[in-house]
Chains A and B, each alone.
Chain A
Amino acid sequence: MTQQSEWEPKLLGFLCRWCSYAGADLAGISRKKYPANIRIIKVPCSSRVDSLFIIKALRLGFDGVLISGCHPGECHYLTGNYRARRRIAITKKFLEYLGVEPQRIQASWVSASEGGKFAEVVSEVTEGLKEVGPNQLFSERKLNGTKAKAGSQRTTRAEQG
């Protein structure tokens, strides 16, 4: 079992190809430092992200998900980010109600020229995840850390915490 101090959160980022991904590129070129915890998936638009992806990411063991797109009004496809905004908003609130820590689902608007902002967002989100701790949502462990009752079904590797 990994020590708490050695644990690094795994953050999955969905970045829209036109704005946020370019912004992330710019952060790199500008040598802006940001934590390497983020793994990036490039999507054509933030609205490509179905809520299903967010929840699947949590299921697979990611500690947090960040969706980033163009600022409202600047979407390359005109209205994609408006759709994403509604979709992400209800997903965040719904998951919060269910008991998922709100720090795990994050969204931002980062334009292609906002390299600095991108680095800031990733740093802040990663800090938030470090505070919240590893994602135990789908493990067989109870959230307070105790082992679940020995049942007749063995767990798959993904669930063993």
Chain B
Amino acid sequence: MEQKLRQEAKELLEQNKVDWIIGFEPGSLKFTATPLITRDKDDTERLVINPFMVNNLADFLTGLKGRVGIVAKGCDSRSIVSLIQDNKLAREDVVILAVPCPGLIDLAKIEKLVGKDRDELDDITREGDKVIVKVEGKKKEFTTTQVLFDHCLACELPTPQEYDILLGEVRPPAPELEVSEQNIAKLKETPTAERWEFWKNEFSRCIRCYACRNACPACFCQRCFVEETEPQWVMPVPRWQDNLIFQIVRNIHVAGRCTDCGECERVCPVNIPLRSLSREMYDIVDELFSFKSGMDKEALPLMAHYEQEEAEDLFR
């Protein structure tokens, strides 16, 4: 499949069908792939398909001028479709190289289960629904349910529906919703007074790096509300109050465009469980308005659409 990808990508550039190719190349750390963004057809030789292609490459689309050939997993393709729905991107300006995704391995989960950091592991391989970790000469076996990202466990679209070139066999969805939403379920079991305390505590660690916002394809505002000084909604000071407000409003602002790609939680350097916020918003949007972002490029965005009768029980 890698060979086919490299071939296709090269041809797209050679035939001037695209100006950019976005994909993955091997990273500089173990078990890492890193985005490759290039106009040079020779660079396409470095493109790879491996179990560590975690980034949502759709994040780069709003920053590039011109037509783009982009490697997309299912979740990425939903973000691309969401951008098309938002009119930020024209369908004809993007060539989607679809990679059916078996779910990606969360290194943080493995680190927790094995008790060692990722650079101390010898190898990680996947055989069907088993993941085998070689560490200190010994083999440890885990099920995919134990080590895949939570958002991968909930995946409703492993293979892009919207694509131009398919690189692999279509994978049907097989979501494990209960496992994937364990953290949210646990929160819902705690009394509401304690929940706010929980978030207060989590956001005391936030340093306002904005990695969550910048890694999110749905956050493409030229000037984010946190950068506004007239009026100043949020202070640039990383107090938990300001941090919490930032994240709450960010989630509301991307509601209906968030595809639960899980990037926000993955990139957070201080391990704030951001997906417990974004996934809940995702579920709220589905529950109230039967809307799933990025599934239908003809559909109107959530906030641009309305039904005559809905959500009336929340209003006096």
Contact = CB atoms under 8 A, between A and B. Distances in A.
* A–B contact, 8 Å CB criterion (strictly below): yes
Interface of A: 51-52, 55-56, 59, 72-73, 79, 82-83, 85-101, 106-109, 121, 124, 137-138, 142-144, 153, 159
Contacts of B315: 85, 88, 107-109
Contacts of A95: 248
A14 B194 CA distance: 29
Nearest to A81: B306
Given A107-B315, A108-B315, A138-B241, A99 B284 contact: no
B199 A98 contact: yes
A89 B187 CA distance: 21
B316 A55 contact: no
A99 B285 CA distance: 18
Given A52-B225, A86-B289, A94 B314 contact: no
A94 B195 CA distance: 12
Contacts of A106: 316
A94 B196 contact: no
B192 A83 contact: no
Interface in B186-232: 187-188, 192-199, 225
- 6 closest Cβ pairs, A-B complex: A99-B196, A99-B195, A82-B306, A108-B316, A89-B311, A51-B252
A104 to B, nearest CB: 12
B196 A59 contact: no
A78 to B, nearest CB: 11
A79 B225 CA distance: 25
Interface string B84-115: 00000000000000000000000000000000
Interface string B267-288: 0000000000100110011001
A90 B316 contact: no
B195 A59 contact: no
A72 B315 CA distance: 11
B249 interface: yes
A94 B245 CA distance: 13
B152 interface: no
Nearest to A110: B316
Which secondary structure dominates where chain B touches chain A? helix
B255 interface: yes
Nearest to A106: B316
Greatest chain B CB density within 10 A among A73, A94, A96 is at A94
Contacts of B289: 86
Which secondary structure dominates where chain A touches chain B? helix
Contacts of B144: none
A56 B314 contact: no
Contacts of A144: 193
Given A55-B245, A86-B289, A95-B248, A143 B306 contact: no
B306 A94 contact: no
18 contacts: A52-B225, A73-B308, A85-B311, A86-B288, A86-B289, A86-B310, A87-B303, A90-B288, A91-B252, A97-B187, A98-B196, A99-B193, A99-B195, A101-B192, A108-B316, A109-B316, A142-B197, A159-B241
B310 A107 contact: no
A51 B249 contact: yes
Nearest to A53: B233
Interface in B236-266: 239, 241, 245, 248-249, 251-253, 255
Contact of B248 (A73, A94, A107): A94
B310 A85 contact: yes
Contact of B252 (A82, A83, A90, A138): A90
Interface string B290-316: 000000000000110010101110111
B241 A94 contact: no
A100 B195 CA distance: 9
Contacts of A89: 288, 310-311, 314
B241 A83 contact: no
A135 to B, nearest CB: 11
Given A52-B225, A96-B192, 8 more contacts: A51-B253, A55-B245, A73-B308, A89-B288, A89-B310, A90-B285, A99-B195, A137-B196
